[in-house]
Amino acid sequence: MNRMINRLNRHCAYFPCHKGMEDCTFCYCPFYPCKDEHLGHFIITRKKEKIWSCEDCNWIHKKKVVDNIFHMIRRDNPKTRKSQNKLISKETGVIILGHGSKLKDANDSLRRLASEIKRKNGLSIVEPAFLQFSQPDLMATIKKVAAGGCRKIIIVPFFLFAGNHVNRDIPKEIRQAALMHREVGLVYAKNIGAFPKINNIVMDCIRTAAA
């Protein structure tokens, strides 16, 4: 699951409003009043009103809790559920296409990525492939996935920039594969650098180096 960067609002006049602050996304808890006596308690105000106090509760301000809430929101979204149902079906396969390297460790990283994406997201078929320097190549992987019964194959170019490989070489191979596998729909996804969230990854690198 993707986690937003730096969700602590240290510029807030009330920061830290709770002990052990980790996350300010939910400045006002959406579950208030939870009436969970492990997290808070009722108090009597000066106006003699009975209200629920969560002054000592930091549950909603824990990063893991906020991440889980975001995950549930995305999971329960009708469009997300529809897409997920398609992806867990054996009729849909995913190919993570990397550039390929002469270094075995670099290629193994892509293989681990494909395996992790499959495991964490409950997908049925996720295969790594390489444009050059390593095997299996894209054509061989498309053939393998199609032979497994897939009727739709999503090809994800694991490339940062939309250069010649992304705009020319890969589409050319996909067109050739489409002629050989007419029974399968080949879908070419955007490269990872095309998504704004890449900025968050770069900032993670910067913050880690600066620490």
In 3D space, the residue among 100, 167, 80 whose CA is nearest the CA of residue 140 turns out to be 100
Residue 25 neighbours by CB under 8 Å, 6+ apart: 4, 7, 66
Question: Of the listed 18, 41, 99, 165, which one is catalytic?
Answer: 99
Place of tokens 């490269």: 191
CA distance 169 to 172: 5
Number of C-beta neighbours around residue 51 at 10 A: 10
CA distance 95 to 187: 10
Q: Which two tokens stand for residue 199?
A: 């900025």
The answer to whether 134 and 100 are in contact (CB under 8 A) is yes
Q: Is there a catalytic annotation at residue 18?
A: no
CA dist 5 → 66, 96, 121, 167 (Å): 12, 25, 22, 30
Phi, psi (degrees; rounded to nearest 5) at 187: -115, 125
Helix (H, G, I), strand (E, B) or coil at 43: strand
Catalytic residue set? 99
